[in-house]
Chains A and B, each alone.
Chain A
Amino acid sequence: MRIIAAWTRLEYQRRWRSLAALALLVALATATVLTAAAGARRGQTAFDRLWARTLPATVTVLPNQPHFDWSRIRALPEVSALTTFAVAKFALDGYPVATQNTWLPPGDSQVFRTIERAVVLQGRLLDPGRVDEVDVTALFPGNYGKGVGDTLTLHLPSLKQGQYYDPSSGLPPRGPKIRVRIVGVIRSPWFSDSPGSLGGVVPSPALLTHYRANLMGVRDDGFINALARLKGGSAAIPRFRTDLARVTGRSDIDEWDNLATFGDPTRKVTGYEAACMLAFGLAALAAAFFLVGQSIARYASATVSDLQILRAPGMTPRQATAAACAAPFLAAAAGSTVGIAGAVIASQVMPIGMASLLEPHPGINADWLILGIGWAAAPLLVLAGSAAAAVAALAAGRSQRPPRRSVFAAAAARAGAPVPVLIGTRFALEPGRGRSALPVRPALMGAVAGVLGVLAAFTFSAGVTDAAANPARFGQTHQLETYIGENGQDFGPAGPVLRRVAASRDVTGLDDARVAVAQSGQVSITTYTYEPVGGKRLPVVLTAGRLPTAPDEIVLAPTTAGQLHAVTGATIRLTGGAHPVTVRVSGLGFVPEGAHNEYDSGAWVTPAGYDRLFRGAHYGFKYHVALIGLRPGTNVAAAEHRLSAAAASIKGGGGVFFGVPAPPGAMLVVKDVAVLPFALGAFLVLLAVGAVGHALATAVHRRRGELAILRALGTTRLQSRLVVVTQASVLAAVGLAVGVPLGFAVGRFIWRLVAQSAPLAYHPPLAVWALVLIAPLALLAANLLAAWPGQRAARLRSAQVLRAE
């Protein structure tokens, strides 16, 4: 032990720069990997932790029926709490109307008390008795510039506009204006933001109490729906459905299992985000293994080379190994400690994406399980790596085998390459022997890892960018849509309007879709009819099979198919109307994202299939929508205007307004994690630059004897510099030759995995600019890194070096 302590003390005196650089590398790697791992864990559990804290609603009950009596539902034995809300909208004065998100006004004071008891992120919960208090969701202050203590003006619809007012039409309300004060920023499963939203305002129940006519219509025939919390949770839903049908006489009331409807898709998204973050962390860990590992290998090799001198005075191999490991281990322990601190500070930006909108405890969070494991593991890994490198170096030192020669260096010699190029190639590819020996594989692997990682990151990012910019990857092939009916009633002459629209040259596809919800066990399936108008077929993105052609056929969206464990060719039993029917799955494909379904949940049927399924239902349809595909290159806003004019030219068609569909939530989630590949790429570039630069500097130092001999034989300063430039260029060339094809393949493979899990339609990504630029940039970076070591090589005092050698 004394010899190890003595040697370690000497190492810190003479090689403190190398050890400090190692500590910094370990700190950077530890902070990055642990931030990602802890962030992944935090993101994965965000929804469940929020759910556990907030007395969330078990079901959302949507009778959409005027004058619905909720007292009978409240009295059901399985209901532990129930709160109502009005299906009515209002606007915020002074902000663009079309993009606002205001919550449906609560109907009673149970909300925030016995159900959906929100987490307060700032301020406090509003007083349900005060009209002039509102809470907002977390994204609101940043996007609207208004926080706790600031005032807003709520603009209500007029009595004439009533419950039909919709701010997304872009038209302003014309009712009373109410000045309110923001008293809190809140979050609960129901009152939470979603990717792409700007944040929303939650008004007090007193708003509905005081302005009921504006919100519910003068005849008070607006809809009051409800959130219910059930004793027994989701397991009580079947009984609740039965009791609901019994007390209301309706079997077609839409009920959402909130955990399945919101929680499962949310968990899927947060799980995807967590998986991305974890993948980032693992990739960073792999990169750190290579790049930090090569620094450790070089350090251990150089140390062992010195320690071999102590073999004669009696240093045993075990002592040499331990002495070679001690200083790096201590440096890694210091680096790991700094890394932990960095990870704790960086936890402020975690979790990412949708999970950040659900996190009940935002801000700094120390996940001591992850941090503790990382704090212990990093120095131990460095210890293991140093020991392995030291043992290998000791064995190589004792080996009687002749030094390994590079076939490329030999080929360069045969080809008559200039001496500096020969020597530089040897420096890059041959470890040498004796005291100037230096492992070269770690530097080569580091160069490969750097190029591979960057290209994989950019290729993956190309997939993300493509998906984030192409709704069609998520099955959204229509550019305009319009609601032409609700609850079995069309707003106008749907048929003539749609035929006039289909006749437009702008329109290449038009689907006349009736939408209703069928059930298969616990699974709700939002079902769309596929009914082209005027022969203009809207493309449907299928992942298997074909569209239905018969009344007993159905296409299921991927997530619905997964929930039902159904594949193409399977038969399933569905209930939509008076009697259940059996249908055969003709294919799997994406559906339009609607008010009550995601793009990956739902189904397509033929019009005859729809009629068969929903025969005897209370309403002929829940929604009647038209989905319009436009000719590529068409100006969407102009087409929207033309089609609205075309619809208005039909008598009664003036109330049909076309709108651009909101992008699927998943698109926004994909966009949210788009930063990860770039972050990983930047991390890999940083590590690769540090490690390759260190390799070049170490080579000049360790092989100064060879350089001095070359100078004595007549090479010039420029030629000495060229040796280092050649070494750097060879490292870059090897990195490119191996890293480019591997990185391309790895990036595509990982994107394919993501596409399968998202799900979305896989489109092979191609990072054109990355492929074009990586070679010149890698060579440029390598040569820039070679500048300082090249300078040192050029200024070598050969006489002094030869004397000392």
Chain B
Amino acid sequence: MSHGTAAPAPGRAAGNGLPRPGGLPASRGLPLPGGVPAGDGRPGSPPPAVRVRGVRRSFEAEMAPVRALRGLDLDVAGGEFVALMGPSGCGKSTLLNVIAGLDRPDEGSVEVAGERIDGRDEEWLARFRRQHVGVIFQFFSLLDGVTVLDNLMLPGILGGMRRRAAISRARDLLGLLGIGEHGGRPPSALSGGQRQRLAIARALVNHPDLLLADEPTGALDSEGAQEVLALLRQLHASGQTIIMVTHAPEVAAAAGRIVRMRDGRAEGPP
């Protein structure tokens, strides 16, 4: 995996699209390497990018414990774009956090990029996320007190880049995502769509194998939502494995497969 350059990894679709004013690059296939070879679990085929078996997760609450996940199974193949859909409170975001290693299951196993991540300590999970997982949040989760450029630089340094290389990578991503001229401004000065593009760029800094998006359009207007969905489709087209959480059918339609969830379980086969 290469760092600090915009050059595509071998075997990835190259891209040389120039950013349109206010919009995304015209060309498809951003030079954003990531993802593992697709697999469908059949003998002889590569292992899935994500495999979840029997995961349970409960939370303490003021009145009574909340059972967010109740023995959930899920497989996501490499290069897939999967939407997790369901009503509010069905455990979608909890599942995403468990897959990201931001939360730990009470029971069950979780495999990401061929590694078991359940039972790992926080230090290991953080290092794993740097290299393999990018996370996009509904409310962007950006650092308000620092510039747009610094918001991208910090994850790069976390991933092992030197400061100059991290800044260079950040500038490249900002340019590719059409917000290059906002590098010196705080995130609060950007529109919702621009902020979410920034959040997506941050998730892509270290070329993750897996991109997780939690309600990425939930805080956006329709135009911003369309921009973000188009970007996610482009990433998928270049081989990125994506799991997206949403409660909106029109957003879920952008994905290649929809997994419905209810009451902490996934409906249908993994």
Contact = CB atoms under 8 A, between A and B. Distances in A.
Interface of A: 2-3, 6-7, 10, 14-15, 306, 309-319, 400-402, 800, 803-804
Given A2-B163, A402-B61, A312 B102 contact: yes
Given A7-B154, A314-B126, A804-B144, 6 more contacts: A3-B158, A311-B102, A313-B129, A313-B206, A803-B188, A804-B188
A3 B154 CA distance: 7
Contacts of A311: 102, 126
Interface of B: 59-62, 100, 102, 122-123, 126-131, 134-135, 137, 141-146, 150, 153-155, 157-159, 162-163, 166, 188, 202-203, 205-206
B60 A314 contact: no
Nearest to A800: B188
A316 B145 contact: no
Contacts of A318: 123
B188 A314 contact: no
A401 B59 CA distance: 8
A10 B129 CA distance: 23
A713 B159 CA distance: 43
A312 B129 CA distance: 7
A314 B160 CA distance: 11
Given A2-B162, A14-B145, A309-B142, A317 B154 contact: no
A317 B124 CA distance: 10
B145 A402 contact: no
A312 B210 CA distance: 13
B143 A306 contact: yes
Contact of B155 (A15, A310, A316, A319): A310
A12 to B, nearest CB: 12
Among B122, B135, B153, B166: residue with most chain A CB under 10 A: B122
Nearest to A394: B122
B58 to A, nearest CB: 9
B138 to A, nearest CB: 13
Contacts of B146: 10, 14
Contact of A2 (B60, B143, B157, B203): B157
Contacts of B122: 316-317
Contacts of B134: 313
Contacts of B142: 309
- For the complex of A and B, 10 pairs with smallest distance between CB atoms: A314-B130, A313-B155, A316-B126, A804-B188, A312-B135, A314-B129, A14-B145, A316-B123, A3-B157, A314-B126
Contacts of A401: 60
A312 B137 contact: yes
22 contacts: A2-B163, A3-B154, A3-B158, A6-B153, A6-B157, A6-B163, A10-B145, A14-B145, A14-B146, A15-B145, A310-B143, A312-B100, A313-B129, A313-B206, A314-B130, A316-B122, A319-B126, A400-B59, A400-B60, A401-B60, A402-B60, A402-B61
A402 B62 contact: yes
Contacts of B155: 310, 313-314
Nearest to B142: A309
Contacts of B150: 10
Contacts of B102: 311-312
Contact of A313 (B144, B163, B188, B205): B205
A10 B147 CA distance: 10
A433 to B, nearest CB: 13
B220 to A, nearest CB: 13
A409 to B, nearest CB: 15
A7 B150 CA distance: 10
B123 A6 contact: no
A681 to B, nearest CB: 38
Contacts of A315: 126, 158
Given A402-B62, A804-B144, A313 B130 contact: yes
Contacts of A14: 145-146
B123 A317 contact: yes
A313 B100 contact: no
A314 B62 contact: no
A2 B156 CA distance: 10
B213 to A, nearest CB: 12
A313 B59 contact: no
A314 B144 contact: no
B125 to A, nearest CB: 9
Nearest to B97: A312
A143 B127 CA distance: 73
A296 B104 CA distance: 31
B60 A316 contact: no
A800 B189 CA distance: 10
Nearest to B62: A402
A597 B100 CA distance: 83
A313 B123 contact: no
B62 A313 contact: no
Contact of B154 (A6, A316, A803): A6
A521 to B, nearest CB: 70
A126 to B, nearest CB: 70
A804 B166 CA distance: 26
Contacts of A804: 144, 188
Contacts of B131: 314
A98 B155 CA distance: 82
A556 to B, nearest CB: 69
A15 B154 CA distance: 17
A662 B33 CA distance: 93
A10 B166 CA distance: 15
B158 A314 contact: yes
B156 to A, nearest CB: 9
Nearest to A312: B135
A400 B203 CA distance: 26
B264 to A, nearest CB: 16
Contacts of A15: 145
Contacts of B144: 804
Given A316-B127, A402-B61, A310 B158 contact: yes
A313 B61 contact: no
A708 to B, nearest CB: 13
Nearest to A317: B122
Contacts of B100: 312
A326 B129 CA distance: 24
A14 B143 CA distance: 11
Nearest to A2: B157
Contacts of A3: 154, 157-158
A319 B166 CA distance: 18
B4 to A, nearest CB: 13
Given A10-B150, A316-B127, A306 B206 contact: no
Contacts of A10: 145-146, 150, 154
Contacts of B158: 3, 310, 313-315, 319
A316 B126 CA distance: 5
B60 A313 contact: no
Contacts of B135: 312-313
B150 to A, nearest CB: 6
A401 to B, nearest CB: 6
A742 to B, nearest CB: 34
A7 B158 CA distance: 11
Contacts of B62: 402
Contacts of A317: 122-123, 126
B154 A313 contact: yes
